[in-house]
């Protein structure tokens, strides 16, 4: 099992992790469509907790679990990596019967991160049009980002290694895939846009590749570049606040 290291904001000793899937065994479920015995999934940030969960044992194929915990749950020291945990009922949803506990527990934080980046910050609209590039389509956040962008109607391209190609295609058969191991990614994107005659309208980098940003004028639309620099300028003039420790 692999877990993120303890940080300054964590209470110790603590129970880590935020993504959860399990069975409701007790709690005040008034105002929801949930009942004791329901199989659910969700997330535990900071806040009031009111539902007990009996957790399944989480294992992936290589015997490791790696998720990104929210600051809130770690700050309180009450995460979800335990046999029982408390979760706010409004943050739980019924788990589809076709989805395992392990699969459901991999959804909340990664999917939410992708949705916020593409829709809240990136401005994608349902029924939209245009080109979206997601760097890292075989990763947790990237995999959801590819599916969300396609579901919203956009033409999507992404990256992965040859060993992950089948996985990415199974998530989104229509996605165009760039093999980042074959040649510099920025060169591949520039050549693609040169041939396609249409630049990308949005780039979501889930990996953190400096050259992707530095060479973006070669493949990102002018309007998107203008918005990017305006946002950077706005953020540089905002007052900075010091983090508070607790």
DSSP states of 189-206: HHHHHHHHS--BSEEEES
Q: Is residue 4 part of a domain?
A: no
The reported pLDDT for the residue numbered 58 is 30
Whether residues 117 and 97 fall in one domain: no
CA 45, distance to chain mean position in Å, is: 15
Last residue of a domain, one of 73, 106, 139: 106
Buried b (16+ CB within 10 A) or exposed e, 144-156: bbbbbbbebebbb
Q: Is residue 8 part of a domain?
A: no
Q: Is residue 228 part of a domain?
A: yes
Q: Is residue 6 part of a domain?
A: no
Q: Is residue 14 part of a domain?
A: no
Q: Is residue 5 part of a domain?
A: no
pLDDT per residue, tens digit, the chain (246 aa), is 455 555 545 566 777 788 999 999 998 999 999 999 999 999 887 543 333 334 333 322 332 322 333 334 556 677 788 888 888 888 899 999 999 999 999 999 899 999 999 998 889 999 988 999 999 999 999 999 999 999 999 999 999 999 999 999 999 899 999 999 999 999 999 999 999 999 999 999 999 888 988 899 999 987 665 444 445 445 544 444 433 333
The domain in which residue 30 lies consists of 19-106
19-27 and 176-179: which strand pairing? Answer: unpaired
Buried b (16+ CB within 10 A) or exposed e, 210-241: eebeebbeebbbeebeeeeeeeeeeeeeeeee
Whether residues 75 and 135 fall in one domain: no
Domains contained in the chain, number? 2
- Whole-prediction pTM: 0.75
Whether residues 166 and 198 fall in one domain: yes
Whether residues 101 and 133 fall in one domain: no
Whether residues 117 and 221 fall in one domain: yes
Last residue of a domain, one of 106, 123, 147: 106
Last residue of a domain, one of 72, 106, 140: 106
């Amino acid at each position: 099992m692999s877990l993120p290291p303890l940080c300054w904001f964590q209470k110790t000793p603590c129970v880590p992790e935020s993504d959860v899937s399990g069975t409701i065994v007790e709690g005040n479920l008034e105002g929801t469509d949930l009942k004791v015995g329901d199989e659910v999934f969700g997330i535990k940030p900071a806040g009031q907790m009111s539902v007990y969960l009996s957790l399944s044992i989480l294992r992936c194929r290589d015997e490791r679990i790696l998720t990104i915990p929210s600051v809130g749950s770690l700050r309180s020291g009450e995460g979800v990596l335990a046999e029982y945990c408390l979760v706010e009922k409004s943050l739980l949803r019924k788990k589809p019967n076709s989805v395992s506990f392990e699969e459901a527990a991999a959804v909340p934080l990664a999917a939410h991160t992708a949705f916020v980046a593409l829709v809240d910050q990136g401005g994608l609209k349902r029924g939209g049009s245009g080109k979206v590039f997601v760097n890292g389509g075989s990763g947790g956040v990237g995999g959801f980002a590819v599916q969300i962008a396609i579901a919203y109607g956009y033409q999507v391209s992404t990256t992965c290694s040859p060993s992950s190609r089948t996985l990415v295609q199974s998530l989104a058969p229509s996605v165009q895939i760039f093999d980042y191991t074959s040649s510099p990614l920025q060169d591949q994107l520039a050549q693609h846009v040169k041939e396609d005659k249409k630049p990308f309208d949005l780039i979501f980098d889930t990996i953190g590749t400096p050259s992707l940003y530095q060479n973006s004028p070669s493949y990102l639309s002018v309007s998107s570049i203008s918005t990017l620099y305006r946002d950077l300028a706005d953020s540089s003039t905002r007052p900075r606040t010091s983090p508070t420790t607790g």
